[in-house]
Structures are given as C-alpha cells and as structure tokens.
Structure 1
Amino acid sequence: MRAAPSEPSRRSHDREILALAVPAFGALVAEPLFLMADSAIVGHLGTPQLAGVGVASAALTTATGVFVFLAYATTAAVARRIGAGDRRGAVQQGVDGLWLALGLAVPVVLLTLLLAPWAAGVLGASPTAAPYAVTYLRISSLGIPAMLLVLAATGVLRGLQDTRTPLVVAVAGFTANIGLNAGLVYGAGLGVAGSAWGTVLAQTGMAAVYLVVVVRGARRERASLRPDPAGIRAGARAGGPLLVRTVSLRAVLMIATAVAARLGDDQVAAHQITMTLFSFLAFALDAIAIAGQAIIGRYLGASDAPGARAATRRMVEWGLGSGVVLGLLVVLARPLYVPLFTPDPVVQGQLHTALLLLALSQPVAGLVFVLDGVLMGAGDGPYLARAALATLAVFAPVAVAVPATGTGLAGLWWAMNLFMLVRAVFLVARARGGRWLVTGAVRS
C-alpha cells in the first residue's frame, strides 16, 4: 500500500468513519431488539408460547436474513453514483433496489405461509409449541415485504452517506413495537397472534417512513418512480454473489450449532451464550464495515483510487483497534456478565475456554469485517462469494470432526477461529492487490 496518510487526512477519515459508523451501530443493535421484545412479552404467556415464538423467530430470521444483500448491494451502487456527482442516478438506483425488494418479497411470503408447519417441525418445535410457532410465523410473513423494503431503503440512505435516518427509524420502530405488542397481547387478549401483528405493524410503519423519504428524494432529483426492468436486473446481478456469500456464512453458523448439539447439554448451553456474545460483537464491528461500504463506494465513484486505499488503511486500523478493545472486554468483564447468562457452575466452566477463544479472535474479526465492507463497497461481490465458499469448505470438515476428536467446545471454537483466520487470508490477499479498485459511476 502507499505511504500513510498525513495527520489531517487521518483526522478527516476518522470524522467520516465515526459519523457513519456510530449511528449505524445504533440501528444494527435496534434490529434484534424487535425479537427480544417479542420474547420478553410472550414469555409471560407461558413456556409453550415462548418456545413457539423462539422457533418462528429463527425461521423468520433465516428467511429474511439471506436478503441482506438488498442493503449491501444498494449501498455500493448508490455511493458510486454519489461519488461521480450523479445524485439523480444514485436515487434512481435506490428506487430500482426497492422494486427488487418487492419482487423478491412476494414468493418469500407465499412460501412462508405454505411451509410454516414444515419449518416448525424441522426446527424442533414440540407438539405443544408448534401451533404457536405456525401462528406467529404465518402472521409475521405478512411483514416480510416491509422488512425487505427496509433493507433496500437502508442501503439507499447509507449510499447517500446518511446513517442517522436509519437510526431514528429503527429506534422509533422498536418503541412502537413494544407498545403495540403489549397492547395487542394483553390489552386485546390476542396472545401470540397479537405479538406477531404488533411486529408486522411496526415494520410496516418503518417501511412507510422510508418510502416517504426515498420518494421525496426521487421527486427532488426528478428520478422516475416506475420500475425499470434493466435497473432491477442490474441490482439482482450485483446482489446474486452477495447472496451466495451470506448463505455460505450462515451455513458456518448452522454447522457450528449442529456440532455443539452433539457435545452435550452443558456444552450446548455454553456455546449458545458464546454465540450470543459473538453476534453482539459482530454488530459493533459491522458498523465500521457499513461505513466502509459507503465511503469506498463514493471514492471509487469519484475515480479516486488513492483515496480509497487511504480510507481502507485507516478503517483497517479502526477495525484492528476495536477488535483488541472488544477482546479485552470479553475477558475482563466475564465476572460481570457470565452470571447474568447462567448460574450453573458446569456451564460457567465450559464458558471459560470458549470466551477466551472468542476474545482471541476479535482483532482478526475486526480486520475481516472492515475488509468485507470495503470490498462490498467496491462492488467486488463475485470474489466475496468465492472466498466465502472456500472458507466454508475449509471450516466444515474441521468442525464436523470435533466430536470425534474429543476436544469438545474448545475444539469447536478453535474451528470458529480458523474460520475467521481463513476469511482474513482471503480478504487481505484481495485488498493488497488492485483488482478491486474499479473506478467510475458504475462497476463494469
């Protein structure tokens, strides 16, 4: 890479990263609070109801989570147009992303309605919990169009270098969700169905706010609101490789959970706690990655490859530093948070090694998340897809062999660290080269 940027340039990059990353982190944390609020409210109805909502939430998260590329691909495409000075084209790209989201939502809703009983069974819902899972999943499926619209619209605003509006909308949506759920579950006596309807209404309200913001922007820039087949196809092509990447990474987490299930109840419990912390730490690091998507897309759109490299270098420093801090917090704060998760001394004992391994991986995770965001911002989806598939191919046999080796939960989390290390190797190798530095308003 080139020589380190000057101090004023470093300060400029720092201000830019923080301005985008801090609100993005708040919005990311607000999203899972929807399901946490549902669980907390439904938990007072009874154990079968809570179990049913837990199963349905897992299915719903899987059904919609794979479409996160709607946000990622749209961010990169819109940011490139902004960098090139084509604000009208940027907004038009965002409108195409919204139409793509709607087009994808229709079959997903139909499949979720049809396959809800099957999904409840596959995910292990008990005979008493299954009816509640099916009810929650079928009603919640009506909110899938809103959820996908929110993903696409969030990508539009991030590409426009605005992460504050998504934060405000996410916080307002979470607040509305709590009020609606409490009122419908207990006030209206709708039980689990009320919880699902409350979440659907809150998500629909969020989507409506985003649509108003995007439509106003489109009218201001005189961009068309009609569906453009060519633009929608371009968005689908850009998102396809990112879909492969996301599915591959989710497969890693599913394999890890399946392997943990074969290790025994105590180790499964410790694994789930460790995974909860893994996911929360990922939100913090992903906020920097989101800033990377928006910043790198804009630099490349402006044909400023040296600026993109300088910004990447500074974000890598932020990622590594954040990873070190988070790793230390995981270790030093254990006496404070471990008792909150479990009072069982056996599970706490299993957690000891797993948490140390989680902490050890955080600097590498910081590097991985940042470079992942940088390459997404550059529109380098095909490489990310190939790297994710290769990483899965390395991780899967190692993880599956853990029960046979007798290494238990520690062996599984060594495999998780290997997964992160292999990802880092692929991403660093790509970032050090120049093939991702494709400039211009549109990545050809």
Structure 2
Amino acid sequence: MAENTALACPERKRKYPLFVFFEDARSVFKLDDLGLEILRIAFPAALALAADPIASLIDTAFIGHLGSVEIAAVGVSIAIFNQASKVAIFPIVNITTSFVAEEDTVKRIASESEKCGDLEKGAVKINVTEEMEPEETAVKNLDASIPEVKTKEFEEEYESCKTTAIMSNSAAKSKVKRERRQIPSASTALAIGAVLGLLQTLLLIFLAKPLLGFMGVKAGSAMLAPARKYLTLRALGSPAVALSLAMQGVFRGFKDTKTPLYATVAGDTTNIILDPIFIFVCHLGVSGAAIAHVLSQYLISIILLCKLMKQVDLLPPTTKHMQFSKFLKSGFLILARVLAATICVTLAASKAARLGATPMAAFQVCLQVWLTSSLLSDGLAVAGQAILACAFAEKDYEKATAAARRVIQFVAGTQPINSLAFVFDGINYGSFDFAYSAYSMVMVAAASIGCLFLLSKVYGFIGIWIALSIYMMLRASAGFWRVCSGTGPWRYLRGKTSSEDTDSAVSESS
C-alpha cells in the first residue's frame, strides 16, 4: 500500500504529455512484470477474438458454394445482426470489464488492509477473505505449546494433534478456494444482458423485413428470402450472445482471458463441424448455417456460466446490491459512441448492397478479413482496459501511464492505423473516460458519414473503403489527442493536478 501511495503522485512532471508515447521505447518488448502481465491478458484475448471472425470466414467459405446471392444475403444479415448486437450489448461488455476490475481491486485492497490491521494487533483471524496460514505455521504454533519434558504418551498425542492441525488448516484453505466472490457488477451485467438479448431477438424477428429494406434489400430482390430466413434464425441466438459477451466482460475484469478463449474455441469448433452437415448433408442451405451458429453460441454461454458460477456469487442478497443506475449512466454514454460507430459501418454495408449481389459479397469477404487483421490490437485493447482500470482503482498512476504507453508503442510498431484506434478505445474505457469516448465518436461519425456519401457516389465500391479508412484515422486521432492534451483523467501527466484532483476527474468521467 505504501508503494502505491508513493506512486500516486509521479515524481517526474511532464510539460508535454505527447512525450509519454516516446518514453522507454526500448522496453516495448521487454518481458518485465508489466510486459508479462500484458501478454498474459492480451494473447488469450486475441486468440478468443480471432476465433469468431475465423469461424465467420469459414462460414462464408461454406455459404460461398451455394452462390453469390446466398453469400450476399448472409452478408447483409450478419451486418444487421452484428450492428444490433453492438448497439444492444457491447456497451454493457465494455463497462463491465472496467467496473468488475475496479470493484475486484477495491475489495482486494480492503481485504489486505483488514489483514494488515489484524496483524498489527497481534490477532491473525482466519476467515473467508484471508489466506490460510501454511502447514508449517500451524505446526509451529503447536510446537510453541509443547512442554520441555516429553513422555512417550505425549509424543504419540503430539503426533496425532499435529496431523489434526495440518488437516484442519488444509480444509480451511480449501474452503477459501471454494468461496465465491461477491461482485455486484457481474450480477448486474448478466441481468441487463439477458434482458437486452431477449429484446434483440424480438426486434430482429419482427422487424427483419424493414431492416433488410433499409440495407438495400428491397421486395423482389433475390437476396430477400435467404437474408430474412438467416436473420430470423440468428435472432434466436441473441440471448446466448448477450450473456456470453457479458460474462466475457466479467472474466476480462478479473484479467482472465483464458476461460473465454477455451469457451469460444469450443463453440466455434462446434460451429465449423456442424456447418457442412446442416448446409450440405441436411440440405438446409443458409438456414443450416444459422442453426449451427446459434447452437455454438449457446454452448459458449453454458461453458462460461458454469465457470463463472464457481467463482462469483451471481445472486446478491437484495436488489439494492445491484448497480443498475451506475451501469445505465455509463452505458448510455457508450451507447452513443456505439451508435455513431455503428451508423458508419452499417451505411457502408448498405451502400455496398445497393451496388448489387456481387459487390455486396465482395464487401462481406473484405470486411471479415479487415476485422480479422486487427485481432492483435483488440487483445491489447482488452489488456490495456483491464490493467488501467485496476491501476486507477489502486491510484497507481505510474503503472497506468506505463501500461498505456506500452500497448500503444507495441501496436504502433506492428499494426496499421485502425489498430491504434482499437487500443485507444480500450485505454479510454480503462480510465473510465466514457463521456469523451461518446462525444468524440459522434463528431468522428458525422465527418465520416459525409465522406461515405461523397466518396461512394464518386468512386463506388472503392470509395466505400476509402471512407472507412478515413473513419478509422479520425477515430485513432481522437484517442491520441485525449492523452496528448493531458485532459480528463490524464491531467496528472501535465503535473497540474494532485492525485485527489485526478481521482475527481476519473469519477466525473465514469
């Protein structure tokens, strides 16, 4: 705790926060404690994020054998489903990671403080929030009560007592390991996710035809029937998608990205196996692809739920422990950001659909490749968000600065502009800078939509992708400016605020 307090006020004041990105550049690939922590979170997260786009690419390959009309129809339906999921669910996922990381860190610090207080009083209490003493300590405490003169009977009794002490202490430790944590943010995220998933199902089923019409698939189009069929079936998996994403946000808050990886790989592998069976063997066509995907999503949710129930008590004592107001306040800010981002991508898909089945099919393939190529940055964004949320909760601003610098330097040297945009998203969420994230994205979207209409009209299919590139450049620039200007939660980089002022700024942002 003393170390964290010392780090709360950085000794080196930075007049120009821009230089923070160039400090310790030689350490970008250094495997120190911070580097290893980033890798432990980012690598499994990147693999988990890679699993779904790769499965979608394989879906696209299987459906491609049915014809260009079918793949174009599925492409439009996937665009609608993904954008609906982003609007309804992704705000919950993003804030869940930050809130769970903050809450878990605060509870851990409080537990450590309580334990230190007990030690200072000379009374070590064994309870479910503290670590058990090792067997050696239990035996040592027993040895302290042994008289100097030992008889044979006493030796036998002593050995029996020692065995009992070790067994009792081991049982107590096992009880602690099995004890589930009370994390209200996790319960709140699952409750909201379940409701949003059901609402998304109803929305997509009853509004499938109007939504497809908005995307350019009009009545009489050959794409309408397969697109509507695929979208309606995929909608049945919305609750599973919502719950699985909410639970992934919880695990990320615990800095555990391996569990979501295992669950995602299991689900997507099932999807890949079922795809050819349902599509070609059962002759279900695009419906078979949708059914396979829905079943895989429910499998992922079941795996994650079973794992999460072992770690977290998902049933709080009363509804007062739920944090609906906190989630809704920050959720609406992220929703505004997601809506702005969604409009850009959705309009791009709509413009491609209006060009015909073949351009839309090409757009779907390019979009999947484009998303898959940014997986490393997404993993680093998850790592940056989780680490920064914990660092801000601990008031360890030097670690927050170092983590932000490290992940940004890494992607700057290995990935294009869109990767920087994704990583800055994670950094903003980790610093609870939800308000700026929302307002800046609205401005970026407004400029990008103008470019999309103009360039698509002049250059057609190529103009759509030029506009998307401009959109990602503006998005990255907005995140870059926030840190470089030393405003919001990053004011401490300029040395003009105390740690208390910074805490206030973080609270206002969240």
TM over 0.5: yes
**What's the CA shift for 1:266?**
9.9
**What's the CA shift for 1:391?**
1.0
**What's the CA shift for 1:263?**
8.8
Q: How does 1:327-366 map to 2 (within 5 A)?
A: 362=416, 364-366=417-419
- Aligned to 1:246, which of 316, 322, 338? 338
Q: How does 1:68-217 map to 2 (within 5 A)?
A: 68-86=90-108, 91-125=183-217, 127-217=221-311
Structure 2 equivalent of residue 371 of structure 1: 424
Q: Which moved more, 1:155-164 or 1:192-201?
A: 192-201
| Amino acid across the alignment from 1:279 | L
Could you say what secondary structure the match of 1:401 adopts? helix
Alpha-carbon distance in 1 for matches of 2:464, 2:233 = 37
Structure 2 equivalent of residue 356 of structure 1: none
Per-residue CA deviations over 1:152-209 (Å, capped at 9, x if unaligned) read 0000001100111111111110111122333334444444333322221111111111
- Aligned to 1:420, which of 465, 472, 480? 472
Q: Percent identity?
A: 29
Alpha-carbon distance in 1 for matches of 2:347, 2:409 = 31
Per-residue CA deviations over 1:352-375 (Å, capped at 9, x if unaligned) read xxxxxxxxxx1x434332222111
Structure 1 equivalent of residue 168 of structure 2: none
Residue 37 (structure 2) pairs with residue 16 (structure 1): yes
Indicate conservation of the 8 Å contact 2:44/2:257, yes or no.
yes
Indicate conservation of the 8 Å contact 1:106/1:145, yes or no.
yes
Indicate conservation of the 8 Å contact 2:53/2:372, yes or no.
no
Structure 1 equivalent of residue 74 of structure 2: 53
Alpha-carbon distance in 2 for matches of 1:264, 1:111 = 26
Higher relative contact order (Cα pairs below 8 Å, separated by 6+ residues): 2
Could you say what secondary structure the match of 2:323 adopts? helix
Structure 2 equivalent of residue 334 of structure 1: none
Cα distance change, pair 378–42 in 1 and its aligned pair in 2 (3 A): same
Cα distance change, pair 415–118 in 1 and its aligned pair in 2 (3 A): closer
Larger Rg: 2
Q: Which moved more, 1:294-303 or 1:175-184?
A: 175-184
More helix by share: 1
With the length of structure 1 as denominator, give the TM-score of the two structures: 0.79
Indicate conservation of the 8 Å contact 1:260/1:271, yes or no.
yes
Query: Runs of 5+ in structure 1 lacking a partner?
Result: 324-361
Alpha-carbon distance in 2 for matches of 1:199, 1:436 = 41
Residue 495 (structure 2) pairs with residue 401 (structure 1): no
**RMSD across aligned C-alpha pairs, in angstroms?**
3.4
Indicate conservation of the 8 Å contact 1:77/1:90, yes or no.
no
Residue 430 (structure 2) pairs with residue 384 (structure 1): no
**What's the CA shift for 1:137?**
1.8
Structure 2 equivalent of residue 40 of structure 1: 61
Residue 379 (structure 2) pairs with residue 290 (structure 1): no
| Amino acid across the alignment from 2:429 | M
Could you say what secondary structure the match of 2:95 adopts? helix
With the length of structure 2 as denominator, give the TM-score of the two structures: 0.69
Could you say what secondary structure the match of 1:84 adopts? helix
Cα distance change, pair 41–411 in 1 and its aligned pair in 2 (3 A): closer
Alpha-carbon distance in 1 for matches of 2:478, 2:182 = 30
Indicate conservation of the 8 Å contact 2:448/2:467, yes or no.
yes
Per-residue CA deviations over 1:255-292 (Å, capped at 9, x if unaligned) read 44556678999998887665444322332222211111
Query: Runs of 5+ in structure 2 lacking a partner?
Result: 1-12, 15-19, 112-179, 491-501
Which 4+ stretches in 1 moved above 6 angstroms? Answer: 87-90, 260-273, 407-411
| Amino acid across the alignment from 2:437 | L
Residue 479 (structure 2) pairs with residue 430 (structure 1): no
Alpha-carbon distance in 2 for matches of 1:240, 1:291 = 23
Alpha-carbon distance in 2 for matches of 1:154, 1:227 = 23
Cα distance change, pair 397–7 in 1 and its aligned pair in 2 (3 A): closer
**What's the CA shift for 1:239?**
1.8
Structure 1 equivalent of residue 51 of structure 2: 30
